[in-house]
Amino acid sequence: MIPARPAAILFDMDGLLLDTERLIRDTMAAAMADWGLVLRNDQFARLIGLPERDCKAIMADMFGAELDYDVLRAATARRIAAEHGPVRPLKPGARALVQQVEAAGIACALVSSTERRLIESHLHHAGLLGHFRVIVAGDEVSAGKPDPEPYRVAAAQLGLPPQSCLALEDSHNGVRSAHAAGVPVIMVPDLLPATPAIRALALAVAPDLAMVAAWLGAAAGRNRAR
Protein backbone atom coordinates (compact mmCIF):
# COMPACT_ATOMS: atom_id res chain seq x y z
CA MET A 1 0.00 0.00 0.00
CA ILE A 2 3.07 2.26 -0.26
CA PRO A 3 3.52 2.78 -4.02
CA ALA A 4 7.13 3.97 -3.91
CA ARG A 5 9.98 4.43 -1.48
CA PRO A 6 9.39 7.78 0.30
CA ALA A 7 12.19 10.30 0.69
CA ALA A 8 11.20 10.81 4.34
CA ILE A 9 8.73 9.48 6.83
CA LEU A 10 7.03 12.05 9.04
CA PHE A 11 5.90 10.40 12.26
CA ASP A 12 3.26 11.60 14.68
CA MET A 13 4.12 10.81 18.31
CA ASP A 14 1.22 10.38 20.77
CA GLY A 15 -0.97 7.45 19.79
CA LEU A 16 1.35 6.53 16.90
CA LEU A 17 4.78 5.90 18.41
CA LEU A 18 3.87 6.29 22.07
CA ASP A 19 0.90 4.57 23.69
CA THR A 20 -0.08 7.70 25.58
CA GLU A 21 -3.57 8.70 24.48
CA ARG A 22 -5.36 6.25 26.82
CA LEU A 23 -3.01 7.19 29.65
CA ILE A 24 -3.76 10.89 29.22
CA ARG A 25 -7.51 10.32 28.80
CA ASP A 26 -7.88 8.10 31.84
CA THR A 27 -5.70 10.26 34.07
CA MET A 28 -7.46 13.45 33.01
CA ALA A 29 -10.85 11.85 33.65
CA ALA A 30 -9.71 10.73 37.11
CA ALA A 31 -8.49 14.23 37.98
CA MET A 32 -11.80 15.74 36.86
CA ALA A 33 -13.77 13.15 38.80
CA ASP A 34 -12.08 14.40 41.96
CA TRP A 35 -13.72 17.76 41.24
CA GLY A 36 -17.12 16.24 40.53
CA LEU A 37 -16.81 16.55 36.76
CA VAL A 38 -17.24 13.82 34.16
CA LEU A 39 -15.10 13.61 31.02
CA ARG A 40 -16.71 11.26 28.51
CA ASN A 41 -14.66 9.41 25.90
CA ASP A 42 -16.42 11.26 23.09
CA GLN A 43 -15.48 14.57 24.70
CA PHE A 44 -11.83 13.56 24.99
CA ALA A 45 -11.91 12.42 21.36
CA ARG A 46 -12.39 16.06 20.32
CA LEU A 47 -8.94 16.83 21.75
CA ILE A 48 -6.95 14.10 20.02
CA GLY A 49 -4.25 15.41 17.71
CA LEU A 50 -4.73 19.06 18.67
CA PRO A 51 -2.17 21.44 20.22
CA GLU A 52 -2.70 22.50 23.83
CA ARG A 53 -4.07 25.95 23.01
CA ASP A 54 -6.87 24.38 20.96
CA CYS A 55 -7.56 21.76 23.63
CA LYS A 56 -7.89 24.55 26.17
CA ALA A 57 -10.45 26.36 24.02
CA ILE A 58 -12.51 23.20 23.45
CA MET A 59 -12.51 22.30 27.14
CA ALA A 60 -13.61 25.84 28.01
CA ASP A 61 -16.45 25.50 25.53
CA MET A 62 -17.53 22.16 27.02
CA PHE A 63 -17.12 22.90 30.73
CA GLY A 64 -16.99 26.69 31.02
CA ALA A 65 -16.07 28.27 34.34
CA GLU A 66 -16.41 24.92 36.12
CA LEU A 67 -12.99 23.91 34.85
CA ASP A 68 -9.58 25.62 34.89
CA TYR A 69 -7.76 23.81 32.09
CA ASP A 70 -4.31 24.90 33.21
CA VAL A 71 -4.96 23.48 36.68
CA LEU A 72 -6.30 20.26 35.13
CA ARG A 73 -3.29 19.90 32.90
CA ALA A 74 -0.92 20.35 35.83
CA ALA A 75 -2.87 17.84 37.94
CA THR A 76 -2.83 15.32 35.10
CA ALA A 77 0.92 15.72 34.62
CA ARG A 78 1.55 15.24 38.35
CA ARG A 79 -0.52 12.05 38.46
CA ILE A 80 1.20 10.58 35.43
CA ALA A 81 4.64 11.46 36.79
CA ALA A 82 3.83 9.96 40.20
CA GLU A 83 2.38 6.75 38.77
CA HIS A 84 4.54 6.20 35.67
CA GLY A 85 7.68 8.31 36.01
CA PRO A 86 9.27 9.85 32.90
CA VAL A 87 8.98 6.79 30.63
CA ARG A 88 6.04 6.45 28.27
CA PRO A 89 5.12 3.08 26.73
CA LEU A 90 5.90 2.52 23.07
CA LYS A 91 3.28 1.26 20.66
CA PRO A 92 4.01 -2.26 19.38
CA GLY A 93 6.46 -2.14 16.51
CA ALA A 94 7.39 1.52 17.01
CA ARG A 95 11.08 1.04 17.73
CA ALA A 96 11.50 -1.55 14.99
CA LEU A 97 9.85 0.69 12.41
CA VAL A 98 11.95 3.75 13.25
CA GLN A 99 15.09 1.62 13.07
CA GLN A 100 13.96 0.10 9.76
CA VAL A 101 13.37 3.53 8.26
CA GLU A 102 16.75 4.81 9.40
CA ALA A 103 18.57 1.68 8.20
CA ALA A 104 16.96 2.13 4.78
CA GLY A 105 18.48 5.61 4.53
CA ILE A 106 15.09 7.30 4.68
CA ALA A 107 14.96 10.55 6.65
CA CYS A 108 12.90 10.50 9.84
CA ALA A 109 11.00 13.54 11.11
CA LEU A 110 8.56 13.97 13.96
CA VAL A 111 5.46 16.15 13.55
CA SER A 112 3.56 16.42 16.83
CA SER A 113 1.02 18.68 18.53
CA THR A 114 2.91 18.21 21.80
CA GLU A 115 5.31 20.85 23.11
CA ARG A 116 8.99 20.40 22.28
CA ARG A 117 10.11 19.99 25.89
CA LEU A 118 7.78 17.02 26.31
CA ILE A 119 8.63 15.56 22.90
CA GLU A 120 12.34 15.61 23.66
CA SER A 121 11.81 14.16 27.14
CA HIS A 122 9.55 11.34 25.96
CA LEU A 123 11.74 10.43 22.98
CA HIS A 124 14.90 10.60 25.08
CA HIS A 125 13.51 8.18 27.67
CA ALA A 126 12.25 5.92 24.88
CA GLY A 127 15.70 5.90 23.27
CA LEU A 128 14.36 7.37 20.02
CA LEU A 129 15.36 11.03 20.14
CA GLY A 130 18.51 10.67 18.06
CA HIS A 131 16.70 9.05 15.16
CA PHE A 132 14.83 12.19 14.06
CA ARG A 133 16.49 14.67 11.74
CA VAL A 134 13.68 17.22 12.17
CA ILE A 135 11.15 17.78 14.96
CA VAL A 136 8.16 20.08 14.50
CA ALA A 137 6.44 20.74 17.83
CA GLY A 138 2.97 22.05 18.55
CA ASP A 139 4.29 25.11 20.38
CA GLU A 140 6.53 26.10 17.46
CA VAL A 141 3.93 26.63 14.72
CA SER A 142 1.36 29.38 14.42
CA ALA A 143 -1.40 26.92 13.48
CA GLY A 144 -1.42 23.30 14.65
CA LYS A 145 -3.10 20.22 13.24
CA PRO A 146 -5.48 19.94 11.40
CA ASP A 147 -3.91 22.97 9.69
CA PRO A 148 -1.30 21.94 7.09
CA GLU A 149 1.43 24.16 8.58
CA PRO A 150 3.16 21.49 10.73
CA TYR A 151 3.67 19.14 7.79
CA ARG A 152 4.66 21.91 5.42
CA VAL A 153 7.26 23.08 7.92
CA ALA A 154 8.64 19.55 8.35
CA ALA A 155 9.01 19.01 4.60
CA ALA A 156 10.63 22.43 4.17
CA GLN A 157 13.12 21.78 6.98
CA LEU A 158 14.03 18.49 5.32
CA GLY A 159 14.42 20.28 1.99
CA LEU A 160 11.92 17.96 0.34
CA PRO A 161 8.67 18.45 -1.59
CA PRO A 162 5.70 17.34 0.54
CA GLN A 163 4.54 14.80 -2.01
CA SER A 164 7.85 12.91 -1.75
CA CYS A 165 7.31 12.25 1.97
CA LEU A 166 5.00 9.88 3.80
CA ALA A 167 3.14 10.76 7.02
CA LEU A 168 2.04 8.26 9.66
CA GLU A 169 -0.87 9.37 11.84
CA ASP A 170 -3.34 7.91 14.32
CA SER A 171 -5.75 10.87 14.58
CA HIS A 172 -8.30 12.42 12.26
CA ASN A 173 -6.75 15.86 12.80
CA GLY A 174 -3.33 14.51 11.89
CA VAL A 175 -4.61 12.89 8.69
CA ARG A 176 -6.33 16.14 7.74
CA SER A 177 -3.14 18.13 8.40
CA ALA A 178 -0.89 15.89 6.31
CA HIS A 179 -3.38 15.63 3.44
CA ALA A 180 -3.89 19.39 3.33
CA ALA A 181 -0.11 19.84 3.18
CA GLY A 182 0.15 17.52 0.18
CA VAL A 183 1.84 14.72 2.14
CA PRO A 184 0.52 11.21 1.46
CA VAL A 185 -0.60 9.77 4.79
CA ILE A 186 -1.25 6.36 6.27
CA MET A 187 -3.54 6.19 9.27
CA VAL A 188 -2.78 3.68 12.02
CA PRO A 189 -5.86 4.06 14.25
CA ASP A 190 -5.49 4.25 18.03
CA LEU A 191 -8.50 5.63 19.95
CA LEU A 192 -10.27 6.88 16.83
CA PRO A 193 -11.47 4.61 14.01
CA ALA A 194 -10.94 5.52 10.39
CA THR A 195 -14.24 6.99 9.23
CA PRO A 196 -15.20 6.94 5.54
CA ALA A 197 -14.33 10.65 5.28
CA ILE A 198 -10.88 10.08 6.79
CA ARG A 199 -10.25 7.00 4.64
CA ALA A 200 -10.87 9.17 1.60
CA LEU A 201 -7.97 11.43 2.65
CA ALA A 202 -5.52 8.64 3.47
CA LEU A 203 -3.27 6.63 1.21
CA ALA A 204 -4.17 3.61 3.33
CA VAL A 205 -5.30 2.53 6.78
CA ALA A 206 -3.01 0.05 8.55
CA PRO A 207 -4.05 -2.08 11.53
CA ASP A 208 -0.67 -1.59 13.22
CA LEU A 209 2.91 -0.44 12.70
CA ALA A 210 4.03 -3.94 11.74
CA MET A 211 1.86 -3.68 8.64
CA VAL A 212 3.41 -0.31 7.79
CA ALA A 213 6.85 -1.92 8.14
CA ALA A 214 5.81 -4.71 5.77
CA TRP A 215 4.45 -2.24 3.21
CA LEU A 216 7.64 -0.19 3.45
CA GLY A 217 9.76 -3.28 2.92
CA ALA A 218 7.72 -4.23 -0.12
CA ALA A 219 8.06 -0.73 -1.57
CA ALA A 220 11.83 -0.84 -1.05
CA GLY A 221 11.94 -4.20 -2.82
CA ARG A 222 10.04 -2.85 -5.80
CA ASN A 223 12.40 0.13 -5.93
CA ARG A 224 15.46 -2.17 -6.02
CA ALA A 225 13.86 -4.28 -8.75
CA ARG A 226 13.68 -1.26 -11.02
Which residues are catalytically annotated? 12, 14
DSSP 8-state assignment for residue 174: H
**Residue 122: closest CA among 83, 89, 156, 149:** 89
Distance CA(172)–CA(119), nearest Å, equals 20
Distance CA(157)–CA(112), nearest Å, equals 15
- The residues with which 167 forms a beta bridge, in sequence order, are 10, 185
Distance CA(206)–CA(210), nearest Å, equals 9
Rounded to a whole number of angstroms, the distance between the first and last alpha carbons of the chain is 18
Order of strands, sheet of 107-111, starting from the edge strand that comes earlier in the sequence: 134-136, 107-111, 8-11, 165-169, 185-187, 204-205
